[in-house]
Structure 1
Amino acid sequence: MTLEGLDDLDRLIIHALQRNARKTSSKTIADRAGVSPSTVRNRIQRLEDRGILRGYHADVDYERAGYQLHTLIVCTAPVPRREELAASALEIPGVVRVEEVMTGAENVHVSAVGTDSDDLSRIGRDLNELGLEVVDEDIIRNIHHGSYTEFETGAEDGT
């Protein structure tokens, strides 16, 4: 067992699911690890129960879906209210992701989607009304995802 009780099989499962959860079967992982598919399914369930695997999310190309504007809105929240305001921001139509940042004044990052600049202006006003100060806004062109390499089996010993 390693940090947080994750062993090589747990890390291999997490790495495989991060790379492509939709197209990675328990059998595929089991074949690579030399264990049974039921062992992999049991481990996935255990990782979910422990809150390590928290969900499986669709990677949406908003532009192809008809929402031309995907923006990152950087906000400042009073630290005592940061968590509450970040959670409330998700309720604003068009907000698709909110990240709390632990350091610095720009401590809430909001990803929002809209069809035009009016949508984005409304979202900015709604965030301000909520109590978040909008500091900066950037249009996102692309998002690239990867899997955390430390979850690859053998990562600790360099293999």
Structure 2
Amino acid sequence: MNIIFFDKDASQETIDKNVDNLRIAQLNLSDFNERMSKNYDLVCKFTNDNPRFFLKQELKYPENTNTITSQINWLLMWKREINDRNYFKIFFNDIARDFEEINRYNSPYIQKDNVYYKIVEDLKKRYTDYAPLGFLDKSDENYIKEEINKKFLQQID
């Protein structure tokens, strides 16, 4: 679906001021839905003329943790504050949290099971050749893709 719904109190003026942010949200939602074979929509609410996104679908734990909405909200904040590549470390820390679940299986006492293989498959789908869309230049996109591959994807057997 990839639809963004607006809170009923959103004025057209506020929506117009945020066209660039809405475009970024739409690009990243579409990319996520395509990569993960999902069909999520977003609800956009404005606070002090700044957008905040929520999933339209009501999800139950664990799917509602670290969802595409939290990533989009973070990307928009990042876009406002980005000043150099050191800021990317925060982005990689978020991916590292996803990767931690895989690392738990790197013990001789834990047998890799179907849960492990599903987590690996999802991580690969989500992050193979991935960079946030809509606000990075090509060299930064390439840098992110290379770092994700080097730091995470190559570590998966």
TM range (shorter): under 0.3
* Larger RCO, structures 1/2 (Cα 8 Å, 6+ apart): 1
Higher helix share: 2
Structure number with greater Rg is 1
Relative to the length of structure 1, the TM-score reads 0.27
Relative to the length of structure 2, the TM-score reads 0.27
